Every structure is written in structure tokens, then in C-alpha cells.
Amino acid sequence: MNQVDITLPDGSVLEFDEEVTVREVAFEIGPRLGKATIAGKVDSKEVDADYVINDDVELEIITIDSEEGLEIYRHSMAHIMAQAVERIYGSDEVQLAIGPSIEDGFYYDFDIPENFSDNDLEEIEAEMQEIIEEDLEIERIELSKKEAVEKMKDLGEDYKVEMLEELEDDAVSFYQQGDFIDLCRGPHLTSTGKANAEGFKLLNVAGAYWRGDEDNKMLQRIYGTAFPNKSDLEEHLDRLEEAKKRDHRKLGQKLDLFSLHDEGKGFPFFHPKGMVVRNELIDFWKEEHRQAGYKEIKTPVILNQDLWKQSGHWDHYKEDMYFTEIDKEPHAVKPMNCPGGILVYKDKMRSYRDLPIRMGELGLVHRHERSGTLHGLMRVRNFTQDDAHIFCLPSQIEEELTGVIKLVDRIYAPFGFNYRVELSTKPDKAMGSDELWDKATDALREAIEANDLDYKVNEGDGAFYGPKIDFHLEDCLGRTWQCGTVQLDFQMPERFDLTYVGQDGEEHRPVMIHRAIFGSLERFMGILIEHYAGAFPTWLAPIQTEVIPVTDDHLDYAYQVKEELADAGVRVEVDARQEKVGYKIREAQVQQVPYMLIVGDDEIEDKTVSVRDRREGDLGAKDLAEFKAEIVKEIENRA
């Protein structure tokens, strides 16, 4: 046999006299790496750990502690769960749909005569542990598409048949463990025994329409989480328990911020306290954007259908849009703000001297999200995007992108968020030539690197009109949320024939940058509620100070304190109820009021207030003027 040369990511080359598996290469590099190897990438294609290399290749080892390794591990756990379900309920009674890995876990969708209950999960977990202990070999099987369809028909797996019939590949792969077989491209663990029987937990059962379409059958989805070691699982479960306590839907009701009603499913109702938080975010946004050179605009919610066809949204978003008829002409409720901003740009002739033009819009948009995907403020059918559109010269792209990145930093800073960056490239369904896409993608990459940001490439997840940079916020529980986005667009200026008069007196095409930082006000508020567990920083708190008189004899002084603080711009209330002081303090703490000012005889005599912090408790007596100065400074600094 010929010598096999394997090139590693660092450029070094390993030489073997004969064929070798991925895992054997890993052991050659080092025992620790070999033991941790879960799969590999051969010439950029993911393969199993026992994949045989018999030719010169480039190889990257995938270890179980890597992001890719965890995805493979969890996908294998999804197969183990599906096998357990078939064993318990019978393979003739269960049809398999899909079972992917997801962030921190996995799920599998089943078509089964009777719905699962949460009580069934314990029995399924026990069967999964049995399958792991059996240490069944996980074998990859490759069949032609025709053979695969026949096999799935024989097994009565209608969903798999539907998936296979849509594939264009002539050959497909299955993975088999014991008597269980599943359509899957892999890779997987080499045996069920490689999974940790104490490192997983089934979490809950939910309904899920096949392929997310309400016209399709409702399936049963079981969610689980899995880690290679028990301690990581326990830590994750603790975070999940904390997340339940922070659920923005419960806290939104408890703190009287917003409500959801069947009369408008997916359309949130904001209460007075919620509007305080919302308006503070808007004021902050407007202040930062004015300083960054943006001019605010407002565009209509409903526009003629022809506009959406011209923009491309008709082809890519039609199923998620709302429609109406005006003067016997079809119109659509906007799912995005971009076309409106374009019309404002086109309203008059532009010169190169005018560029860049930065237009900001807090625009209300509507999208027909499926009912099963709605989730509090996180997934709604109408929301306000903090959009902005920058029209610039090609020579201004890097400077404008850098300006956006710096603005993102300034806006996220008061909330204490760390974030990571992803560069998303051309999707399968995209407008425009590869040349323009490559040009736009390179420009975004250069801007990221020029600003010394670490980033990950997210292949194929760009917008249909251009690549994008996404900003993923990390909250106090370590969860990440995609909020900010920057999209570089050469397509819309072409479709709408946008021009400017250049220095040479000729018409030229501007470049368009789409960007949002909050993403949507609704979702950002939901994230903040959970991030702070409802205890907003003082500048955001609906009520910043509660004045608590000891008895009714102290009410007049309490209202004097309120008036002085209110005149300084502090949101302040007096609790005048005939309740005990301790009860009022506890109520204020439950409502997450940052400061409580208790006033009685001593405070009236000394012109002071007794200050309590919602977290630190009693801070002692302070001169009213001193407290006022401190809280005003805290609010102004957005501390």
C-alpha cells in the first residue's frame, strides 16, 4: 500500500505506511487527544472516529470538549432516546421524524398514538441508561437513494420517506445500533457505551408540527440535555432552574410590565410600568444615534404589494406577511423597514458630498409567526425594530462598519453584556451574483478583523440580499441571544436603481448597510427582564424610589420628599397604605424598587431619609439633598 500523508491544521505532516483511522491518528498525536476524539474532518468533511484514511488528506481532530464534538455527542444521544422510545412503545407504533442536536441539548419528534406525559420521561431515561450500558456498536451504513426509500417504506417510516424523496443525493447514510436504524448523515459516537449514563436528562414534552407547518400533523417532541460528565450536567440543570425563576413571562405579570391576551395572540400589551422601561430604552437609543450622526425617520406600516415584489421580500417572506386591499390594490403590512428607507433616499437627487447618509427608524413590523413558536416577548407577531440604513460610497464601507461596531459597544455597555460575533455568508436562496456576494463578505470580514474582534463563520446564514455580522449577547446565566446585526447590501441599490452624482458628474451606485442593535425592543426587553431577574438598574426601573411613611402622621413629609425628588427627574412614589412598615418594605422589594426611603419622627426633625437598598438592606440615614445627588448621578451615568 502507498504511504499516507496526513496534514494537520498547524501545517505539520504525519506519515503512515498503511491506511489508518481518524482515532489512530489522534493517538499518534497524543494519548489525551486520542481518548477525547469523537470524530474528525477529512478535507473539511466531518467523518466518524473509525473512518479509514487511505489517501493523502488534510485532517482536523474533533474532540468531545469542542463545540462540534458536543453537537455530535448530543446527536448520538437523540438516537439513543429514539431507540428507547421504540423499545418501550414498539417500533410498529412509533414513527420517527427528526432528532437534531440543539444548543445545550437535543430533541426528537415522534408520531405516536398516545401523547407522552412528563411522567413518561423517567421510564425513557431508564431505558436510555440500559442502552448505554449495553455498549452497542454504532455502525454507518450507506445505501442508494432507491434502496433507502424501499427500506424506510418497509419499516413504515413515512416521514423518513418524505425526507428521502426530496434529497438530490444518489447515496444516503444510515446509522444502526442494535435493532435500531435511523436516516442520518452523521458522524456519531462509535458505540452507545461512549455516552455517559449519568450525564443526561430528559427535560420536557411539547407539541411540534411536522416541519413547523400548522397544516401538518402535530408530533410529540421530547427535549433533553446531555454532557460528557455529570458535574457539567448538574451545573446546567442549576442554570435551568434559575432560568425558570427569571422567566420574563412570569416576571412581566408579577411586575405589571406587560400582558398577553387571546384576543391578540402574539401581540403584546405594554402596561404603564413596561412603557417606562420601553421609553427609557428608546430615549437611550435616540441619544446615542444623534451623537453618531443618524437622522431619525418614520415610514408607513402598510405599503403597496408591488414594492415588496421589487425588494424581493415577496419571494422570500410572502408566507410570513399580512395582506390587505386599499383602493382595490393589494397592499402588505411591512415585515421589514428597508424598502421604506430606500424610498426616502430616492425622494431626491443625492450627491457624493451628501454621503454617508445615516437613517435611523424605530419601525413597527409584523410577521406571521406560527402559533406554536410564540413565546412571550421573545417571539411575537409585531415588534419594533431599531433599524438604521446607511447609504455610503464604496470607499466609506470600512469606516461606516467600524462606526457601527463602536456604536454597538456603546449601547451594550450599560447592560453589562459580553458578546460574540458571527459572520454569516450567502444562503442557498439569495439574490445577486457570486461576485457581489464575495465583495460584500470580504468587506465585512475586513471590518471585523480591523476592529480586533474574534469571530466565527456561519456558512449560509446570511440575509437573502447580503452577508451579515451578528452580535450574540451573553446574559448572566451564560445564555446567548442574537440581537444586533449588520448587513452589507449591494443588491437593493441595484433593484431600486439607487444613485448618487459622483465627483465626475456621472451617476453611481451607493452601497447600503442595514443594521439593528437591540434587534427588537420587545425581545430586548424580554432578555433584560431575565438578565436582571426583574431588578432593573436604577435608570431603567419603572419606580426608582418608594417613600414609606411610618404612620399617617408622616405623610406630609413623605410627599415633600417625593416632590423634591420628582423635580430632580426621579421616578418616585409614596406608599400611603395603612399597612405596617415591614410589609411595605417587603412589597417594594418584591416589585424590585431600587431604593426605599423610610420617614418617621427622626427623619422629619433632621430633614433626612432612612435609606434601604433592595439588595443591601439598611444604608442608614442620609440628608435628603445628599441622597438626591447620589441617585441623580446614578441615573445620569446609567450605572
d(CA 362, CA 298): 7
> Helix (H, G, I), strand (E, B), or coil: what is residue 280?
helix
| Spatial contact of 448 and 486, defined as CB atoms under 8 Å apart | no
d(CA 242, CA 477): 8
Count of beta carbons in the 10 Å neighbourhood of residue 415: 18
Say if residue 184 carries a ligand binding annotation. no
Closest CA to 191 of 230, 247, 134: 134
Alpha-helix runs per DSSP H in 413-511? 434-450, 491-495
Beta strands in 584-635 (DSSP E): 595-599, 608-613, 617-623
> DSSP string of 61-114?
EEETTSHHHHHHHHHHHHHHHHHHHHHHH-TTT-EE----EETTEEEEEEE-SS
Catalytic annotation, pick one of 184, 338, 392, 483: 338
d(CA 597, CA 539): 17
Q: What is the DSSP letter of 628?
A: H
Catalytic annotation, pick one of 74, 273, 350, 389: 389
Say if residue 338 carries a ligand binding annotation. yes
514 is catalytic: yes
Say if residue 483 carries a ligand binding annotation. no
d(CA 541, CA 414): 14
Burial class (CB in 10 A: 0-12, 13-18, 19+), 356: middle
Give how far Cα 192 sits from Cα of 14, 34, 477, Å: 30, 18, 31
338 is catalytic: yes
d(CA 217, CA 195): 32
- Chain center to CA of 634: 30
Catalytic annotation, pick one of 140, 151, 289, 367: 367
367 is catalytic: yes
> Helix (H, G, I), strand (E, B), or coil: what is residue 473?
strand
Helix count (H) and strand count (E) of the chain?
Answer: 20, 35
CA angle, corner 496, sides to 346 and 308, nearest 5?
A: 105
Catalytic annotation, pick one of 334, 468, 523, 614: 468
| Spatial contact of 603 and 609, defined as CB atoms under 8 Å apart | yes
Catalytic annotation, pick one of 386, 387, 475, 575: 387
For 214, phi and psi rounded to 5 degrees? Answer: -65, -20
For 59, phi and psi rounded to 5 degrees? Answer: -130, 135
d(CA 405, CA 451): 8
Catalytic annotation, pick one of 83, 385, 396, 544: 385
313 is catalytic: no
| Spatial contact of 4 and 20, defined as CB atoms under 8 Å apart | yes
389 is catalytic: yes
Residue with cell 469523537: 38
Beta strands in 180-256 (DSSP E): 180-183, 200-209, 218-226
Which grid coordinates are listed for 503? 465627483
| Spatial contact of 485 and 389, defined as CB atoms under 8 Å apart | no
User: Which one-letter amino acid corresponds to residue 130?
Assistant: E
Catalytic annotation, pick one of 514, 531, 571, 614: 514
| Spatial contact of 226 and 105, defined as CB atoms under 8 Å apart | yes
* C-alpha gyration radius of the chain: 29
Known binding-site positions for Zn(2+): 338, 389, 514
Known binding-site positions: 338, 389, 514
Q: Where in the sequence numbering do the catalytic residues fall?
A: 338, 367, 385, 387, 389, 468, 514
